[in-house]
């Protein structure tokens, strides 16, 4: 990394990169390029989550005046490119997403798990929902409703005074909450496979650590 390069904010670094590439990029790609160029300096473990959150917040706060446009799940373009160019990026994203999903359906599974009917560890949000269904009683949570919109579920959590109403969102990674542009004030609990959002202001249940502890204690067959 060239230490003589001027350090930029996450959004300014993203803006300069997108101007140069003239192609929509993900938060991971933007961070990789910025770190290589030396225009971004971070000590956090999940700079891609911070990048996604920063871009999302600019879009939310500045609305039509934002420099950025989201063309897919965690895929960013510049508003100055114009509607036609942005539509091309959206179509490219949709095509690439379909191809990736087809490959995932055919070839990719998670790590061997063999936990209570689930052979492999989750690789998506649906796996998280399945495991939560197995563990929710142990977690002191009852589910009252499941829905396709945000938040994913409504339920109640056992507290000292009784059963408190909570709104639940399922995510594969806790940082996906940011890239999905969910509103924090309308959620009480994130249930995920991996918790990678260090600054998360919400309560998080990481199923991975819970199951690993159970397997270590011999509750189920080990990995």
| pLDDT tens digits for range 12-43 | 999 999 999 999 999 999 999 999 999 988 87
pLDDT score of 101: 67
pLDDT for 5? 67
User: How distant, in Å, are the alpha carbons of 36, 39, 120, 185, 212 from that of 3?
Assistant: 11, 9, 44, 40, 41
pLDDT band for position 102 (cuts 50, 70, 90): low
Q: List Cα–Cα distances, 25 to 5, 67, 89, 139, 154, in angstroms.
A: 22, 14, 10, 38, 34
pLDDT band at 221 (very low <50, low <70, confident <90, very high): very low
> Residue 54: pLDDT above 60?
yes
> What is residue 200's three-state secondary structure?
coil
The residue-averaged pLDDT of 67-81 equals 91
- For residues 81 and 87, give the distance between their C-alpha atoms in angstroms, rounded to a whole number: 10
Statement: residue 2 has pLDDT above 50: no
Burial per residue of 170-196, b for 16 or more beta-carbon CB atoms within 10 angstroms, e otherwise: bbbbbbbbbbebbeeeebbbbbbbbbb
Provide the token pair at 188.
């009480």
- pTM, full prediction: 0.53
Expressed in percent and rounded to 5, the helix, strand and coil fractions of the chain are 45, 25, 30
Alpha-carbon gap, residue 45 to 26, rounded angstroms: 17
DSSP for 74-90 reads TEEEEGGG-HHHHHHHH
Contacts of 71 (CB under 8 A, 6+ apart): 24, 77, 86, 89, 90, 93
What span, in angstroms and rounded, lies between the C-alpha atoms of 28 and 124? 18
What is the model's pLDDT at position 220?
Answer: 47
Q: For 65-83, what is the mean pLDDT?
A: 91
Q: How far is CA 15 from the centre of its chain?
A: 21
Alpha helices in 108-175 (DSSP H): 125-135
Cα angle at 127 between 47 and 138, to 5 degrees? 100
């Amino acid at each position: 990394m060239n230490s003589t390069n001027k350090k930029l904010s996450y959004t300014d670094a993203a803006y300069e990169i997108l101007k140069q590439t003239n192609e929509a990029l993900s938060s991971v790609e933007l961070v990789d390029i910025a770190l290589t160029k030396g225009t971004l300096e971070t000590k956090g473990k999940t700079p891609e989550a911070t990048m996604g959150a920063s871009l999302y917040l600019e879009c939310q706060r500045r609305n039509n005046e934002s420099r950025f446009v989201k063309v897919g799940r965690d895929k960013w373009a510049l508003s100055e490119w114009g509607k036609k160019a942005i539509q091309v990026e959206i179509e490219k994203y949709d095509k690439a997403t379909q191809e990736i999903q087809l490959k995932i359906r055919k070839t990719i599974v998670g790590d061997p798990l063999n936990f209570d009917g689930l052979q492999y560890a989750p690789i998506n949000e649906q796996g998280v929902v399945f495991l939560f269904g197995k563990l929710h009683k142990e977690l002191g949570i009852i589910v009252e409703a499941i829905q396709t919109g945000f938040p994913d579920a409504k339920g109640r959590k056992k507290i000292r005074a009784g059963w408190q109403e909570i709104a639940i969102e399922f995510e594969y990674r806790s940082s996906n909450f940011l890239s999905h542009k969910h509103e924090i004030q309308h959620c009480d609990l994130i249930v995920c496979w991996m918790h990678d959002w260090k600054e998360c202001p919400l309560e998080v249940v990481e199923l991975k650590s819970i199951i690993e502890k159970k397997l270590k204690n011999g509750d189920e067959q080990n990995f």
